[in-house]
Amino acid sequence: MNRFIQFTIPTALLLFFGSCSVQDHLPPDSTQRCKVVEEVLQSNNSFGPESIDIDGNKVNIGVYGHYFYEYDDQGRISKFTSAPVENSLINFYTDRYEYLPNQLNKYRTFLPGGTSEFKIPLPLNEQGTIISNNDYKHEYNTEGFLVKTTYPYQSLSDWRMYDDGVDEYTVENGNIVKLKITRPGYDFIETTLYEYDLSKPNLPSRFGANGKASKNLLIRETTYWGIDKSKGYREFESRYLFDGNGQVTRQIILDYSYNEKGENRSRNSIRVIDYSITCK
């Protein structure tokens, strides 16, 4: 579901408002001192030689994604590459970004061997954040956080098209704490609750045009369907390794399922993200 350039929940800085052009309101990651320049994605569902310890058990993981980020002299993302990885089913491509007043142009080239690129125009508001992407329409609060996205969707039961899909975000104390997805056409409701380590800052933002993001480090996501957890729920627990400067070097995401009583925990998958971060 590609509603933005790429979905992440990164750190961003507060925007200031006025009647200036987009170029006077840089995307909210443009003044960050540190930048993510590379990510290596691994999981226990991919074959690989590395073995990690999870609660006393050895688990083998393999690479399924390899991302590179480049930034312009104003600190904005200028190029993103999803590099080819052996035995991976994800798409490989390069996106380059062109910033214009009131618009961000994304030019995508597929890898390997791609020679032609296609243009994706993304209109921006005065904050420098994306207001629409195809049929997805985005709304932000006064702090620059994304608070609402509306979009069409297709019912999974009768294949009818509806135009009342809504994603609503709740922000408290500088962190996104809740996402509620509603698709009335087939009575679908999904809620995700986010928890943070309030003593640690978030990872540096990569895509500031997606809006401001949580200021603290994510440690847990809890997702359930319907109005409560009566159908069970899933929990994504994030653990981190840090270098001597306090920068995140590795994120380990444990995916668990629970029944409606919060019992019978079963592990679905393990994902690992290795980060290379440079600071000015």
Kindly state the average pLDDT of the residues 212-233. Answer: 94
pLDDT given at position 261: 85
Confidence at 21, pLDDT banded by 50, 70, 90: very low
d(CA 280, CA 182): 42
Q: Which amino acid is at 179?
A: L
Could you give the percent of the chain with pLDDT greater than 90?
A: 71
Kindly state the average pLDDT of the residues 23-36. Answer: 62
Q: Which residues, 6+ apart, have CB-to-CB distance to 72 below 8 Å?
A: 78, 99
Tell me the per-residue pLDDT of 94-140, one tens digit each, with 9 for 90 and over: 999 999 999 999 999 998 776 678 999 999 999 999 999 989 999 99
Tell me the per-residue pLDDT of 196-221, one tens digit each, with 9 for 90 and over: 999 999 999 999 999 998 999 999 99
Among all chains, which residue has been given the structure tokens 């690992």? 272
pLDDT given at position 29: 56
Tell me the per-residue pLDDT of 255-267, one tens digit each, with 9 for 90 and over: 999 998 888 788 8
pTM: 0.86
Domain segments of the chain: what residues? Answer: 22-279
pLDDT of residue 22 exceeding 50? no
Confidence at 279, pLDDT banded by 50, 70, 90: very high
Q: Output the average pLDDT for the chain.
A: 87
Tell me the per-residue pLDDT of 63-87, one tens digit each, with 9 for 90 and over: 999 999 999 998 999 999 999 888 7
Confidence at 156, pLDDT banded by 50, 70, 90: confident
**CATH level 3 topology of 22-279:** Porin (2.40.160)
d(CA 210, CA 193): 20
d(CA 34, CA 207): 14
For 17, 20, 114, 177, 209, the CA distances from 127, given in Å and listed in that order, are 7, 9, 33, 22, 9
